[in-house]
Structure formats: structure tokens, C-alpha cells
A and B are shown apart, each in its own frame.
Chain A
Amino acid sequence: MAELSDALLQELMKSFNAEAGDHLQLLNQSLLEIEREPPPEQAKTLIQDAFRAAHSLKGAARAVSMKQVEALSHAMEAVLHLARDEGYVLTPDVCDVFYDTLDAIGDVIDGKTVDSEPLLVRLRSLLPGDASDSAAPPPVESASSANGKHHHNGADTDSADDPAPSSGGGTVEETIRVSVSKLDDVMAQVSELLVARISAEHRLTNAHDVRYHLGNITKGIREIQAFAHRLPADQSRQLTETVDRHGEIIQHLIQSFDVLDRGIYQDSLQLGVAADGLQDQIRRMRMVPFQTITLMLERAVRDVARTEDKHIAFAIEGAGVELDKRVLELLKDPLLHLLRNAVSHGIEAPDQREAAGKPSTGTINLRVSQRGSEVKITVDDDGHGFDIERLRQAAGRVQENDELLGSNDVINWAFLPGVSTADHVTEISGRGVGLDVVRRQVEAMQGRIGVDNRPGHGVTFTLTVPTSLAMTRVLVVTAQDVNYALPLLAVEKILDAENTFMSGGRPMLKVDGVTLPLVSLASLLELNMDGAIERPLVIVMGVAEQRIGLMVDDVVTEQELAVKTLQKPLTRIRNISGAALMGNGDPIVVLNPVDMIRASQNTHMPLPQLQIRQDATDAEETPAVHVLVVDDSITTRTLEKNILEAAGFNVTTATDGVQAMQRLKGASVDIIVSDIEMPNMNGFDLVTTVRETADLQHLPIILVTSLESREDREMGMRVGADAYIVKRGFDQAELLATIQQLI
């Protein structure tokens, strides 16, 4: 083979994988049908289909140098050739070899290491002696296909006879393969679009606000106009003209604005319709027919039946029903389990069946039907059904008993973990883990499972699943020991709760140079907050341009959930957009970021006990400001101390000027708040002394006093105080503000 570039080789491999998958599927399907002993005409077509598939697979494998696949395909092709032309019978034993080969080829394509020798030996041994020569793999030629020399036309004359594949008339629908991840990406983009829609709705609110203000301006202009018109004409003419002109401008402004407003409304409506429509279409793109998994189910039933030596007729009805690809993926396991159970434990051995007057071949039916937005799948067998007594005993051995059980509900005990009536544990099922897991799997995709038992005559399982799942990626967070799901769409970052500070009495957070309001999830959700949080985390949340810092106790994990909106009577609850079931079956509340951001802007919420550092300007590491409070009244001292400490200051107290000077010598004080009327050394003298002390000269001093006279105020200024606050209307805000100004 000529040297191919890596990129080209990769592309070729991708197409090969897809093509090979199709051939393998066709081979599997054809063989399964052949095994059901269809009428000769049909059998002929099936064998031809299988032959052609093996042939094409061989050719494709050769083109990409997959030697093992090529050899195995060739060996199968040889046997099928005999079956087609020489009446070679494809017995179950022969089919066994084929199935193993097909599985092996599948493994090779998946990249697993496979030893194809034993299979080749088995395949070759299927052939009668004189034909085995032609089954030897053709010598590998190093001819490149570039010069058009195709190996097919040489050794295999049959291919010339191959009729072109007919599609049975009618139009052929053009299809194109798209990887699921691409669809997921598109889905994510649509979610962005939905956020834009929400943002557009906010613009409407903004627009209304502006309109309101314009209305007010108009009123104001009218008032001025009225006033202007009342003035004597010669004085007012210019004024009147100006005002009238501006009145007109405002009117035009309002008119233009109304046009804008209507435009915004229309656009946001249209955006909404388009976004919803798009989301719908994409969801439908992910729908695939149930047919996609039927092969696997048929193979499973066949394999278990072979192992247990039972005869089973397995029919699937309604394979054309379409479901979301992910739902279908999730259905594989539970259905496989139910089917294997049916074969292993449901259907009896042929002799037992005959003894019971049943046909020796057991019947299992799988029916798929659509009902609105749900798909109903029934799996029924005509085996011996559940033995209620055995079930009761088995359940009695198990502790859990969390449901009220009437006689019909006993059957639901089968779904409890650890319950099994099988008296032998097979490799396949019967460990007592089975049906419980099945129910969990079904419930995890928002589905339901029920069972109808006909003792002696079989069992019918009914699964109901949604046609499509709206899966949302969420971040699972904790507040007050309860988990909540936060749509990942609204999450920008997760940080430690540092860089928090108070501003205007509200907690804030600085992120990347921007200040955001800080809110705790517990208070937003109006939860009882008990206990301080050890190491809270902050989630920076944003919708459109609004952002907040949301404080939570912990971040658990990120995952995908099928979110359902809450149903009546819980029509609309603030801060909540719905609920979902977690893997363990517990419901989790899913939060609504838009509501939460809006709510956090409205109210001032308490934060749980946390060290919030007082920092006026920016959030760098600054030690707390040290204030010296001087007052002879213990009440006043205590009051001021409390106020200042709550605001984050470090406070020392002194009872008079003398003590104050002592304190100043010891510690490094940043600012003094002092009374005037004190024994030993009053406030004025204190100020004077401080101003005379070398390294304390520039220390800011606030005099707080009940003395109100102007003389006292002037005295205070004269001795060098920086501010003078009167105690009578003691306002803590004023004190704090003054301190802020001076430090």
C-alpha cells in the first residue's frame, strides 16, 4: 500500500468503521432470520444479503489494510458462497461460529487485540474438504488502488453477478451521519440562545424604566411651560421658546422610544419562538428508531437460549418507534436484563413445558408503542410466572419494607433489592440484584416500570419512558446539608470565600477587578441557618450581564440531569425551576438563576457567621484599623465600642485623657474618638497634648460630645481636632463615615 498521510488514513478509518458497522449489522440480522427457518424464497434472499455483506466487508478491510478483518470476512464469504450455491445448510452450530466471528471483527474494529487464528480454523473446518482450497486467503498484493487495478475483478467472479442493491422502489431519503457530540454542541448553543432570550426580556424592563423617566420629564417640562406662560410676556418670551422647543424634542424622543419599545418586544418574542423551535428540532434530530437496539436484544435472547438449551420464539413489534438516542442507550441495560431473566427464569425447559401442556417453544414478545410524549414497552413471556409464595418468602428475608402492600402489590416485592426467587444463581441473572437495578435504571430516565403476573402462564413487564429527555448540565451544591442543582449555564467560576468585604452595609466580593454583590444560598432560599460554615465556597453566577457571588457550603459534583418542571399544584415557586431524580433515586431541587439574581438585588440578606473584613477602598491585605475610644461614661464607651467592632474596627478604650495618653504610648492607634467632658484630662487637653507629641502629631482625632455651642466647636477646631460630632442625635452612620474620611 502506498504511503498515506496520517490525516487521510484517519479519515479512511472513520468511513471504514461506519461501513463495517453496517455490514456486521446486516450479517447478524440475516443470520438471525435465517435461523428462524423462513420460507425458501426468503432464505435465499437472506443468504444473498449476508454473502454480499461479507464480500463488501472483505473489500473494505483490504482497502485500509485491516488484514485480520479481511481474512475473517473472506472465510465467512466462502461458507456463505456454498450456502448460496451448493445448498450448504447454516445450522445453529455453524451460526455460532459466525456470531463469534462477527463479534471478533467488532472487537478488532474497536481496537481490541484479537487472535483470529482459532476462528479462521473453525470457519475453514466448516467447509467440506475439496472446497477448503478456495477458502485460503488470497495472496496479499501490494497493488495500490490508485491505478485502478481492483482485486475484486480477479479472483472473485461472483461479484460480477451481484445485482445492484435495490431499494424496492420509491424515493430514497438522503441521509447523513452526524456524530452525537456535534448535536450536543448545537444543543449547547441553543441554550446560549435561550439565555439571550431571557436577556432580551430584561431589555424590555429597562425600556419600560426609560419610558417612565421620559414621562416624568414631560411632566416637568409641562410645569415649566405653565410657569413660563404665566410670566409677563416680554420677560418670558425667550424662556417660553426654549421650553417649548425642548418640550417638542422630548415628544419626539418619546415617539422614537415607543417605536423602539415595540421593536424590542417583537424581537424578543421572535427570538423566543425561534429559540424554542430550534431546541425542539434539535431534540427531534436526536431521535432514532427503536430498531437501533433490536439486533443486540435478539442476539442476547438467542445466546442465552442456546446456553440454557431452551427454544425461544422472540418477536419485536413496533421497532419503528422513535426515541431520543440517549433514552435508547439507557434502555439497553434494563431490557437486556428483563429479556435474559425471561429466558433464564421465566421460560421453562422444553420437557417441563410439554408436561404443562405448553408448546415446547417458549414465546417472548417485546412491543414498543408510542403514546403522546411517552413510549410504552412491554416484555411478556409465556413461562411459569412469579411464584407469589416464593416471592413472599424471599421478601421476608429482606429487611426493607417501605410500601403498603395489598395482595396485588406483592409482586412489587420483586423489585426490592436482594429479592430473588431463583434457587440457582446463574451467571446471567438471579443474584437478587436484578429487578431492583432495573427499576432504578428506568426511574433514572424518568420512566416507570410495572409488572403483571400470571402464575403458571407468564409475566408481562411494562416500561414507560419519555420519548426524549431534556438533560441539563448542573452543578450540585450544598446549603445547610441539603443538595441543590444549579444549572451550569449560569455558573462562571467557583472560588474560595476570600476577598469579601462590606460596602454600604452590604457584603461584596471582588473578582477580577470587578465588585459583585455577595449572597448566601441559604438566605436566598430562606433556610434556617444554624452554625457557621467552615470553608464556604463562592460561585460567581451570571445571567445576561447581571452577576452575583453565591455563597454555598460546598460544591459536590457536576452532572447531567433530566429536569422536569414542577407540576400542579406547585405551578411556580420563586428561585426554583424544577426538580430531577439523582442516580440514587432521591429528588433534587433545581434552582432558577434568573430569579435568584433578581432576588439578590432586592433585599439585603444576612450572611452566616463569617469573618468579613472591613475594607473601605479595596480588598488588599490591610490590618484592621485601630480606634481608641475615650469616654468617662461606661455606657457610651460600650456603645461606641460595639458599633465600631461590628464595622470591623479594632477598639481600645480609655476612661479619660490621662489613660488615653498611656494607651497611645503602648499600641499603634490609627484614630481617636474622644468625649470632651472627662475628669483628669478633658478632650480639649487631650487633643492639645497629642498634637504636641512628636510622633502623634498627625493622628486623626474626632471629638464626640454633648456640648453643642459654637464656642466649643471652635475650641475643638482651634486645639486641632479633625472633626466634631454632637452626641445628642447620635447617629452611628455619621461616626463611621467620619472615621472613613479621616483614616
Chain B
Amino acid sequence: MSIYDKFSPEEVDVLRKRAERAAASIEDRDQLDEQNALSLVVNKEHYAVPIDSLQAVYRRIRVTPVPCSPTFVSGIANVRGRILPVLNLSLLLGAGNSGSDDEGVIVAANDEMTVAFQVQTIGEVMTFAQVDLEPVISGAQGYVKAFLPDGSGLLDMQSILEDPAIEVNQLTG
């Protein structure tokens, strides 16, 4: 009886891929669909964002508050000559309000908008492979599509940008 009998065929598959990866030489890694992600701490919770989905990262940006706006809107900031909206990522992720401890912003964009998100700590760039990702069990926040091996939630920035909930449209009577 092989120890593999305990596992389902799918699980054996995953195990085999992991074994292959561990055995792979550095050169082979390119073929294993690896990506870079920036690790973040948002109000004491750990997240990561694929580098490809970010336009820029800045530390210590001065944010000018915008009155009459919802709490998740921290304000606006001058980023390389452009006035960008700054949203509080902590509140958007439902991780609570980190107050003024935020160290920097990450900037993401799509066709319609460019937005800066405040984060508590900007960490290191790390590498991960698609195979290492664990899918999100239902019930987790909509913006996190997968978990990395260390437990950080991998953020899907596009889903945040496309979420109608972040749009502030106060029609005046």
C-alpha cells in the first residue's frame, strides 16, 4: 500500500507538481508561471498584491482631506503632478480603520480611473507560483481571490476598482 492511496487523484496531482517544483533547477522556474507580489500589512492583516497590477508605490504621501465624503475616502493627493483620489484600503477590506498609521499608498488603475490606496506597511517583494495559491473558501472578502502559502490574502485590485460600492456619487436634489 502506497502512502499516495490516502489522497485523492487531484491531491496527488498537486503533490506531484510541488515535488517537481522543489526539484526544479533555477532555470526551470521560468516555466512554472511565477509572479512577483508586494507584501502589505493593512491594519495588522497581511496581504499581497501582484506587482503587475500596480502602477506605482509611494511612501509618505501627503493626503488632503475631502469634506462631505464617506469615511473610506481619505482624500486626494498630488502624485507626480496628477491629483489622485486616495481611498482607505483598510476600510474597504473590512479590516477596520487603522487611523493615521499608514505608511504609504499603492496605485492601481484601469481604463476609467487611477486610484491610490492607503496601506499600513509596505513590505518586500516576494515570488510565488500559481500552483502555490490556495483558493478562497466561500465567505472571504470579494477582493481576495486566493491565499498565499504564508496566509496573506492575494488582492485582486481590478475587482476593487470595478466595485460600484467605491463610487461616490451624491446627486444633489
Contact surface of A with B, Cβ cutoff 8 Å: 402-404, 439, 442-443, 446-449, 482, 525-527, 564, 566-576, 579-581, 585-589, 595, 598
Contact = CB atoms under 8 A, between A and B. Distances in A.
Contact of A586 (B59, B62, B169): B62
Given A448-B80, A564-B83, A404 B113 contact: no
B69 A570 contact: yes
B81 A569 contact: no
A569 B85 contact: yes
Interface stretch (B20-28, B41-49, B71-79, B140-148): B71-79
A236 to B, nearest CB: 44
Contact of B57 (A404, A581, A598): A404
Given A482-B65, A581-B83, A574 B76 contact: no
B68 to A, nearest CB: 5
Nearest to B73: A570
Contacts of A595: 172
B113 A569 contact: yes
Interface of B: 57-62, 64-69, 73, 76-78, 80-85, 87, 104, 112-115, 122, 161, 166-173
Given A482-B65, A574-B68, A576-B68, A443 B78 contact: yes
Given A525-B67, A574-B172, A567 B85 contact: yes
A575 to B, nearest CB: 5
A587 B113 contact: no
Contacts of B76: 566, 570, 579, 587, 589
A566 B113 CA distance: 11
Contact of B170 (A572, A587, A589): A572
Given A402-B59, A567-B113, A570-B85, 20 more contacts: A404-B58, A404-B104, A443-B80, A446-B81, A447-B81, A564-B83, A566-B83, A566-B85, A567-B85, A569-B85, A569-B113, A569-B168, A570-B73, A570-B76, A572-B170, A579-B66, A586-B62, A586-B78, A587-B64, A589-B64
B146 to A, nearest CB: 25
Contacts of A527: 67
A404 B61 CA distance: 10
A404 B113 CA distance: 22
Given A404-B104, A566-B76, A526 B67 contact: yes
Given A525-B68, A586-B64, A569 B78 contact: no
Contact of B82 (A448, A568, A570): A448
Contacts of A573: 66, 68-69, 168, 170
Given A579-B76, A581-B83, A571 B169 contact: yes
Nearest to A440: B81
7 contacts: A402-B58, A525-B67, A570-B85, A572-B169, A572-B171, A573-B68, A579-B76
Contacts of B172: 572, 574, 595, 598
Nearest to B165: A569
B64 A568 contact: no
B109 to A, nearest CB: 11
Nearest to B57: A404
A570 B83 CA distance: 12
A366 B65 CA distance: 39
Contacts of A568: 112-113, 167
Contacts of A569: 85, 87, 113, 115, 161, 166-168
Nearest to A400: B60
B77 to A, nearest CB: 7
Most buried by A among B57, B68, B169, B171: B68
Nearest to A575: B68
B73 to A, nearest CB: 7
A404 B73 contact: no
Nearest to A588: B64
B66 A589 contact: yes
A594 to B, nearest CB: 8
A570 B68 contact: no
A571 B167 contact: yes
Task: Return the 3 tightest CB-CB contacts between A and B, nearest first.
Answer: A443-B81, A525-B67, A568-B113
B134 to A, nearest CB: 29
A322 to B, nearest CB: 22
A572 B168 CA distance: 6
A567 B166 CA distance: 12
Contacts of A571: 167-169
Contacts of A581: 78, 81, 83
Contacts of B66: 566, 570, 573, 576, 579, 589
Contacts of A447: 81
A403 B58 contact: yes
A587 B85 contact: no
Contact of B168 (A482, A570, A575, A587): A570
A482 B63 CA distance: 12
A67 B146 CA distance: 83
Contacts of B59: 402-404
Contacts of B83: 564, 566-567, 579-581, 587
Contacts of B115: 569
Contacts of A576: 66-68
B76 to A, nearest CB: 5
B67 A575 contact: yes
A537 B166 CA distance: 37
B112 A402 contact: no
Most buried by B among A404, A526, A570, A575: A570
A587 B65 contact: no
Most buried by A among B57, B65, B172: B172
A446 B83 CA distance: 9
Nearest to A527: B67
Contacts of A564: 83
A575 B170 CA distance: 10
A420 B113 CA distance: 35
